[in-house]
Amino acid sequence: MTRTIIDDEAAEVTISDQSGERRYPLGSAEGFAAVSDAWLRAGWDAKHVYSFTWMGRPIIQLPEDMIRIQELIFQVKPDVLIETGVAHGGSLIFYASLFKAMGKGRVIGIDVEIRPHNRSVIEAHQLSEYIALIEGSSTDAAVVEQVRGLVGPVDTVLVVLDSNHTKDHVLAELRTYAPLVSVGSYIVASDGVMEKVAGGPRTKDDWSWNNPRQAALAFAREDPRFEIHEPEWLFNEGAVRNRVTYWPDAFLRRLK
């Protein structure tokens, strides 16, 4: 367990954990990281990510993660982004809006259950021409066949995994979708935050190991074509060094 004490007046943060007590200036990289960890945990408990929409659709994401993946999308400029886990469609609409603005790219969204209301709102959306929906489990052979049929042989492909977050399922998704990822592009195993918030409310006993981060680390060990790679920040004039994120160690870059 970590205890974080923020002293606004002294502009300091004190952290106590099993390795002892440390004190940092609030505005240092370490101070900011400690406060961010506490904020992430508070946000988890308060369901902060269940409070945003993108162009009318609920998007269950931390806004910083969306800004960061926007930076990556703008660099990779994919022809196709495949996302597993559609829910209300907010993230699909987010990616579609970037592709419209960039004049390039489209999205394939896969969900085991696309509720009729969500489907009809997504299909009626002004960005629907950028979106293809596939219903079924992301690792089902027939679903994967449909996805392959929608990807051209020279398309640049980026994949975001945001469906069932067990280690086994994410590892199966990584093995299934990694071959579609272009060299230099990424497959992203989202929501490894489960490991960080394990033990808190709305968590399960096995989250310390049964989570997407562990799947990404295992996949990087087994497949030499991929490495965990933090996309470079294009701009940083501050002291912050690490993402404040629900997606720790999520970005697997294809090397060859």
Residue 61 engages ligand SAM in binding (rule: CB under 6 A): yes
164 makes contact with ligand SAM (CB under 6 A): yes
Using CB under 6 A, which of the segments 10-18, 36-44, 53-61, 223-231 binds ligand SAM?
53-61
CB 159 within 8 Å of CB 250: no
Instruction: Name which of 27 and 136 has its Cβ closer to ligand SAM.
Output: 136
212: contact with ligand SAM by CB under 6 A: no
Among candidates 91, 88, 94, which has minimal Cα distance to 114? 88
Q: Which residues inside 129-148 make contact with ligand SAM, applying CB under 6 A?
A: 137-138
Phi, psi of 32 (to 5 degrees): -65, -40
**Residue 218 is a binding residue for ligand SAM (CB under 6 A):** no
Q: For residues 61 and 66, give the distance between their C-alpha atoms in angstroms, rounded to a whole number.
A: 7
112 binds ligand SAM (CB under 6 A): yes
SS3 11: coil
Q: Cα separation of 3 and 18, whole Å?
A: 10
Q: How far is the CB of 235 from ligand SAM (least distance, A)?
A: 24
Is the CB of 32 or the CB of 139 nearer to ligand SAM? 139
Buried b / exposed e across 153-172, counting CB within 10 Å, b at 16+?
A: eeebbbbbbbbbbbbebbbb
Closer residue to ligand SAM in complex, CB, 176/185: 176
- The reply on whether position 189 binds ligand SAM by CB under 6 A is no
Single residue of 13, 76, 86, 157 touching ligand SAM by CB under 6 A: 86
Residue 97 near ligand SAM by CB under 6 A:
no
Q: Smallest distance, Å, CB 245 to ligand SAM?
A: 14
Task: Give 233's DSSP letter.
Answer: P
Task: Give 134-193 as a DSSP string.
Answer: EES-TT-HHHHHHHHHTS-TT--EEEEE-S--SHHHHHHHHHHHGGGSPTT-EEEE--TH
Closer by beta carbon to ligand SAM, 35 or else 122: 122
The one-character DSSP state at 100 is H
Which positions lie near ligand SAM, rule CB under 6 A? 59-61, 84-88, 90-91, 110-113, 137-138, 162-164
